[in-house]
Chains A and B, each alone.
Chain A
């Protein structure tokens, strides 16, 4: 089953801490979203494998925009 990870608010992706194929665990830090002058980690909502990453470091994202997919 695929789990989408979306941006909780608009901001800038300052860092990507995983790559496609990585096995991640629930609440691992996957990306850093810079918003409201703070660096906010995006956590894994479930255990699984990163199947797609939809953004690149430095990308500006909108609220709810798809960031990556975990399978």
Chain B
């Protein structure tokens, strides 16, 4: 199959001088949002006790542990700004992402030991579930840096109980292990109760000498007050017990190494724990990337920095999707699937780090005259019409058959509406795409380049496709909402305006409400909001996007559950004709 993949068709056009001149303001606005996100990320890293104080106590921070553990240049953070319950701490108190350890990709997550000694807090269970789902979808190891003081007691009602609560990740660990996916844990600090289960449910447990894991920690071993209340005499007893337990907390390293043997290793140095994880990562089966490469890896022929001039910040400005994609994929080469059908959608095969990947994305701008073929009005990119919907379903199905992962590039205002669109079966074809995505079994990732809107955001591999969607990224130009705020305001208030007009009431109050609604839509759809509330798993700088694509492809092909020999793939043959 070398003739198919070694040299595909070149695509993407060089940046033109007048485009550079015209897009300076757009570039500045993209970079301003990226700077805002970077500042928020930095602030989140600095919450809690200063790193120096943690170091004075002889411990490393979660960030220092990650820095030592993960191979330089491979860390792709996720959920950096995720804080769906708007915690006062500004975090869900776990840090996670994709990174390479000992030459292998892993999903890595750790408690932030600078904040409440790594306590469970609101929003954290959902964060952890996203991470366990990610390891499952990519079929790669999950590495935990456990350092969990247990529940933040004053807020326990917000996350302790329920179907997707703090106990759910323990079952997810079992689910991963039963699927053959190892969970490695490096264990630090005091880990009572929930923290104890965080420590015990992984596959391999490597502990620091001062670590403990326990069913119950020192704080609760003395139990409830036997008198049904508290008084000075009872407190004297409590103080004595507490002093003793502070020196000898339950579940110490000596207990779980010598007595129970739960800990595989106990290390005197903090870094020894991380070295132990590296040792076990080396022992985990992983294909050498060359096994699945269809060509030598190559950087894009067109520079990634051009993206700042090609993706307009102004949502009304159109662009050429292929020019964006060509800056993200190996050698700026591709094989396009059905270029003469469904012009509002791009579908094609590309290489990422030498590995074959399917890509689906929205084209922008004017569509060829006569399209959509079922209506007497012109079509515009970003919308979905009959042929595009059919083409996406076909392509996803072929990718499933050929065991090819899929990257979605979304910038959509929705599916075409109206009587002609209904007669053209768009509702049924949208749901057919959902069915196609759900029936294949290949990992997918989504980049919401700009707009994610209406049902189109769901059906184009949205985060809701959570059986296949490994993760979703946004950019500085991302905005996600059911519809534009002004459209929503019209939909909400148009009939009321007619009524008020007919009854002689002033229209200014309704206009103000409409403006207020549009403002709210704007505020709740910006990149930082999307990241904080989990509409996306991370907002990524345009220049950093390719790193995530490489991490995705590398992870998918590290240990795939199912493979298709390249010489038995159908998609390349269908494209060739």
Given A29, A34, A37, A40, which contacts B18 in the complex, CB threshold below 8 Å? A29
Given B13, B16, B366, which contacts A40 in the complex, CB threshold below 8 Å? B366
Q: Is the beta-carbon distance between B318 and A36 smaller than 8 angstroms? A: no
With contacts A39-B316, A40-B318, A41-B318 taken as known, whether A9 is within 8 angstroms of B366 at the C-beta atoms is yes
**Is B50 in the interface zone, CB < 8 Å from A?**
no
Instruction: Provide the residues of chain B in CB contact with A9, threshold 8 Å.
Output: 366, 369, 378
Instruction: Provide the residues of chain B in CB contact with A17, threshold 8 Å.
Output: 18, 22
Q: Quote the shortest CB–CB distance from A11 to chain B (angstroms).
A: 9
- Number of residues in B with C-beta < 8 Å to the partner? 17
**Is B19 in the interface zone, CB < 8 Å from A?**
yes
Instruction: Provide the residues of chain B in CB contact with A28, threshold 8 Å.
Output: 16, 18
With contacts A8-B366, A9-B366, A9-B378 taken as known, whether A29 is within 8 angstroms of B316 at the C-beta atoms is no
Determine the distance from Cα of A29 to Cα of B15 in the docked complex, in whole angstroms: 12
- B-side interface mostly: loop
Given A27, A34, A35, A39, which contacts B16 in the complex, CB threshold below 8 Å? A27
With contacts A9-B366, A17-B22, A28-B18 taken as known, whether A36 is within 8 angstroms of B13 at the C-beta atoms is no
Q: Is the beta-carbon distance between B13 and A39 smaller than 8 angstroms? A: no
**Is A1 in the interface zone, CB < 8 Å from B?**
no
Q: Which of B448-477 contact A (CB under 8 A)?
A: none
Instruction: Provide the residues of chain A in CB contact with B366, threshold 8 Å.
Output: 8-9, 35-36, 40
Instruction: Provide the residues of chain B in CB contact with A40, threshold 8 Å.
Output: 318, 365-366
**Is A19 in the interface zone, CB < 8 Å from B?**
no
Determine the distance from Cα of A29 to Cα of B316 in the docked complex, in whole angstroms: 16
Q: Is the beta-carbon distance between A37 and B16 smaller than 8 angstroms? A: no
Determine the distance from Cα of A41 to Cα of B312 in the docked complex, in whole angstroms: 12
Instruction: Provide the residues of chain B in CB contact with A29, threshold 8 Å.
Output: 16, 18-19, 22
**Is B117 in the interface zone, CB < 8 Å from A?**
no
Determine the distance from Cα of A41 to Cα of B353 in the docked complex, in whole angstroms: 34
Determine the distance from Cα of A71 to Cα of B364 in the docked complex, in whole angstroms: 29
**Is B512 in the interface zone, CB < 8 Å from A?**
no
Q: Is the beta-carbon distance between B314 and A38 smaller than 8 angstroms? A: no
Q: Quote the shortest CB–CB distance from A9 to chain B (angstroms).
A: 5
Q: Is the beta-carbon distance between A25 and B317 smaller than 8 angstroms? A: no
Determine the distance from Cα of A6 to Cα of B19 in the docked complex, in whole angstroms: 21
Instruction: Provide the residues of chain A in CB contact with B365, threshold 8 Å.
Output: 38, 40-41
Count how many pairs of residues, one from A and one from B, have CB atoms less than 8 Å apart in the complex: 42
Q: Interface readout for B365-385 with A: 1 if CB under 8 Å, 0 if not?
A: 110010000000010111000
Residue of B nearest to A10 (CB): B378
Residue of B nearest to A30 (CB): B18
Instruction: Provide the residues of chain A in CB contact with B364, threshold 8 Å.
Output: 38
With contacts A9-B366, A27-B13, A41-B318 taken as known, whether A36 is within 8 angstroms of B18 at the C-beta atoms is no
Q: Quote the shortest CB–CB distance from A25 to chain B (angstroms).
A: 7
Instruction: Provide the residues of chain A in CB contact with B317, threshold 8 Å.
Output: 38-39
Q: Interface readout for B293-325 with A: 1 if CB under 8 Å, 0 if not?
A: 000000000000000000000101110000000
Instruction: Provide the residues of chain A in CB contact with B369, threshold 8 Å.
Output: 8-9
Residue of A nearest to B413 (CB): A37
Residue of A nearest to B319 (CB): A41
Q: Is the beta-carbon distance between A36 and B378 smaller than 8 angstroms? A: yes
Q: Is the beta-carbon distance between A38 and B16 smaller than 8 angstroms? A: no
Residue of A nearest to B317 (CB): A39
Q: Is the beta-carbon distance between A37 and B316 smaller than 8 angstroms? A: yes
Q: Quote the shortest CB–CB distance from B137 to chain A (angstroms).
A: 35
Q: Quote the shortest CB–CB distance from B349 to chain A (angstroms).
A: 25
Instruction: Provide the residues of chain B in CB contact with A39, threshold 8 Å.
Output: 314, 316-318
Q: Quote the shortest CB–CB distance from A40 to chain B (angstroms).
A: 5
Q: Interface readout for A26-51 with B: 1 if CB under 8 Å, 0 if not?
A: 01110000111111110000000000
Q: Quote the shortest CB–CB distance from A15 to chain B (angstroms).
A: 9
Q: Interface readout for B332-368 with A: 1 if CB under 8 Å, 0 if not?
A: 0000000000000000000000000000000011100
Determine the distance from Cα of A25 to Cα of B18 in the docked complex, in whole angstroms: 10
Q: Is the beta-carbon distance between A36 and B380 smaller than 8 angstroms? A: yes
Given B16, B314, B378, B382, which contacts A25 in the complex, CB threshold below 8 Å? B16
Q: Which of B362-412 contact A (CB under 8 A)?
A: 364-366, 369, 378, 380-382
| Given A29-B19, A35-B366, 10 additional A-B pairs, CB 8 A | A9-B366, A29-B22, A36-B378, A36-B380, A37-B316, A38-B381, A39-B317, A39-B318, A40-B318, A41-B318
Binding site for B on A (CB under 8 A): 8-9, 17, 25, 27-29, 34-41
Closest 6 CB pairs of A and B: A36-B380, A39-B316, A39-B317, A28-B18, A9-B378, A40-B366
